[in-house]
């Protein structure tokens, strides 16, 4: 009888353990997803099939959109790369970080305004990154690709502010082809923009860490110039209808297809490992596309500018376990939102002492009608951008309106200090309403100035030497 009872008790114990393990597994599947973020470089809003392009071929990215949310009002935190990447890592506006230009930036001479040259040219180690937060919650962290948050272009282990020093357990930093640091074998194997290298490292990371929750960031160099890709692939797009249109570029087409293939490989690996359903996968761009390579129709200008072409970006978020049905969201989001959203869904600690500018948008994952509590977004670029012609400016989007303040005109008491657009009817920003609805312009300008004061944004100053020289 005692033997029977012992066997019975042991069986009950085994069953109880199994129940607990199953319960924990279910909890992990729902509450603690894996996270994969794929960042494209200089990819424009309209250069993806699911965003309206019939020229650029993106079947894998399009398929990803069919399993999640496609955002139509997603913005980068800046119109250039380094500030946006810093915002992704910290959940803060670039102006608050005082990292407002691409690293290392440039200081053009003989301009009407002077910009302080002591802005941050790296992501300070004191800033707590998303990788550091998630690692403290038990996640394995990996970063492969373009870092661009350290001034020096050195091998990763020699960088003063490399990914490993800022929370990533595994990392590999790549550079664009024009860098003299690109490995010879990469050139020989025609991996011009390190797409194959980044993808290979990402696949290895997934394979090796499939049994542990992870954060994986794949940060591509493509489609950043120089424009170079496989000649046969370029030829394919040269022969495609529409190749002579200003919106389309055959070389970019080849580069985008290579990027899309990489996305497909990552998705397939996640599915093979039975990880796809419980992986929060984010696909985005660091800023808008370059206007000089292809028009960013329907938007105005491109990379470097605070017009929509420079800051409106593609954003797709997939998580089949939570996002049951695909849908299109028109709600306003920003790359500053990634950190608080990811920390929320992974049960990582959102430090109340750390001031985040982004907000958690995960409420819409299970309820697409849920409204995100946001009316406004801000941008601040106190520099001259030689590549695009952009001048120092700040901007605000408030509801459907967009206002840009040009600091040269303001500081030198010139006309045309502000531009105001209703993006609902004028996404191309062609009709300046600042004089037609001055009450809205006044309200938004005050909001913008209050914000620059709040984040202690560095403002450009009048170049008195240049002004005196012109008066002579």
Per-residue pLDDT of 25-64, as tens digits, reads 444 444 589 999 999 999 999 999 999 999 999 999 999 9
Tell me phi and psi for residue 215, to 5 degrees.
Answer: -115, 120
139 and 69 in a common domain = yes
> What residue spans of 158-249 are helical by DSSP H?
184-188, 195-208, 231-238
Please state the domain count of the chain. 2
pLDDT value for 468: 54
- Which of 374, 396, 415 terminates a domain? The answer is 374
Expressed in angstroms, the distance from the first to the final Cα of the chain is 111
Q: Measured between alpha carbons, how far is 101 from 450 in angstroms, rounded to an integer?
A: 22
384 and 400 in a common domain = yes
Q: Which helix H or strand E contains 35, and what residues bound it? A: strand 34-40
382 and 366 in a common domain = no
Per-residue pLDDT of 272-306, as tens digits, reads 999 999 999 999 999 999 999 999 999 999 999 99
Assigned domain for 21 exists: no
Per-residue pLDDT of 118-174, as tens digits, reads 899 999 999 999 999 999 999 999 999 999 999 877 776 677 889 999 999 999 999
Token look-up 């790549």 returns: 174
Q: Measured between alpha carbons, how far is 299 from 282 in angstroms, rounded to an integer?
A: 23
Token look-up 């008790």 returns: 9
pLDDT value for 31: 53
Range of the domain at 63: 32-374
Q: How many CA atoms lie within 13 A of 140 on its CB side?
A: 13
More confident position, 313 or 13: 313
Assigned domain for 20 exists: no
The mean pLDDT of 407-413, rounded to a whole number, is 96
Three-class SS state of 411: helix
87 and 66 in a common domain = yes
Q: Measured between alpha carbons, how far is 171 from 67 in angstroms, rounded to an integer?
A: 28
User: Residue 67: which of 261, 245, 283, 255 has the closest Cα?
Assistant: 283
pLDDT value for 101: 95
pLDDT value for 8: 47
Task: Note the Cα 355 to chain centre separation in Å.
Answer: 19
Rg, C-alpha atoms of the chain: 24
351 and 425 in a common domain = no
Do 102 and 82 touch, CB atoms closer than 8 A?
Answer: yes
253 and 397 in a common domain = no
User: Residue 35: which of 169, 149, 140 has the closest Cα?
Assistant: 140
Q: What is the pTM of this model?
A: 0.90
Assigned domain for 319 exists: yes
pLDDT value for 5: 52
Q: Measured between alpha carbons, how far is 190 from 229 in angstroms, rounded to an integer?
A: 8
- Which of 374, 404, 431 terminates a domain? The answer is 374
User: Residue 382: which of 356, 354, 410 has the closest Cα?
Assistant: 410
Assigned domain for 254 exists: yes
333 and 208 in a common domain = yes
């Amino acid at each position: 009888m005692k033997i029977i009872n012992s066997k019975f008790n042991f069986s009950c114990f085994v069953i109880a353990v199994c129940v607990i393990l199953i319960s924990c597994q279910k909890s992990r599947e729902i509450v603690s997803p894996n996270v994969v973020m794929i960042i494209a470089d200089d990819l424009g809003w309209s250069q993806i099939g699911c965003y309206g392009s019939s020229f650029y071929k993106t079947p894998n990215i399009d398929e990803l959109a069919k399993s999640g949310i496609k955002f139509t009002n997603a913005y980068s935190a800046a119109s250039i790369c380094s500030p946006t990447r810093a915002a992704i890592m910290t959940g803060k506006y670039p102006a608050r970080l005082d990292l407002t230009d691409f690293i290392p930036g440039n200081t053009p001479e003989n301009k009407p305004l002077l910009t302080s040259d002591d802005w941050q040219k790296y992501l300070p180690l004191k800033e707590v990154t998303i990788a550091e937060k998630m690692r403290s919650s038990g996640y394995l962290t990996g970063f492969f690709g373009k870092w661009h948050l350290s001034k020096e272009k050195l091998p990763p282990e020699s960088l003063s502010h490399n990914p490993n020093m800022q929370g990533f357990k595994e990392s590999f930093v790549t550079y664009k082809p024009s860098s003299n640091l690109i490995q010879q074998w990469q050139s020989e194997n025609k991996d011009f923009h390190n797409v194959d290298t980044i993808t290979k490292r990402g696949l290895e990371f997934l394979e090796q860490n499939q049994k542990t929750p992870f954060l994986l960031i794949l940060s591509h160099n493509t489609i950043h110039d120089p424009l170079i890709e496989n000649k046969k692939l370029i030829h394919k797009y040269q022969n495609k209808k529409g190749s002579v249109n200003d919106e389309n570029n055959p070389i970019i087409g080849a580069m985008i297809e290579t990027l899309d293939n990489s996305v497909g490989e990552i998705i397939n690996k996640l599915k093979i490992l039975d990880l796809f359903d419980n992986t929060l996968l984010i696909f985005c761009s660091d800023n808008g596309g370059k206007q000089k390579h292809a028009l960013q129709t329907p938007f105005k200008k491109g990379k470097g500018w605070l017009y929509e072409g420079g800051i409106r970006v593609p954003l797709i978020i997939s998580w089949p376990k939570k996002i049951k049905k695909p849908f299109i969201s028109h709600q306003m989001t920003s790359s500053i939102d990634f950190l608080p959203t990811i920390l929320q869904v992974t049960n990582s600690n959102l430090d109340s002492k750390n001031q985040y500018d982004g907000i958690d948008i995960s409420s819409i994952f299970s309820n697409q009608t849920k409204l995100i509590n946001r009316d406004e977004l801000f941008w601040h670029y106190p520099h001259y951008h030689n590549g695009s012609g952009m001048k120092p400016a700040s901007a605000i989007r408030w509801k459907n309106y967009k206002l840009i303040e040009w600091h040269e005109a303001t500081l030198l008491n010139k006309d045309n200090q502000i531009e105001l657009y209703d993006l609902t009817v004028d996404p191309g920003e062609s009709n300046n309403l600042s004089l037609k609805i001055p009450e809205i312009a006044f309200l938004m300008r005050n909001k913008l100035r209050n914000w620059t004061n709040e984040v202690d944004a560095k403002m450009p100053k009048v170049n008195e030497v240049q002004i005196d020289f012109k008066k002579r």
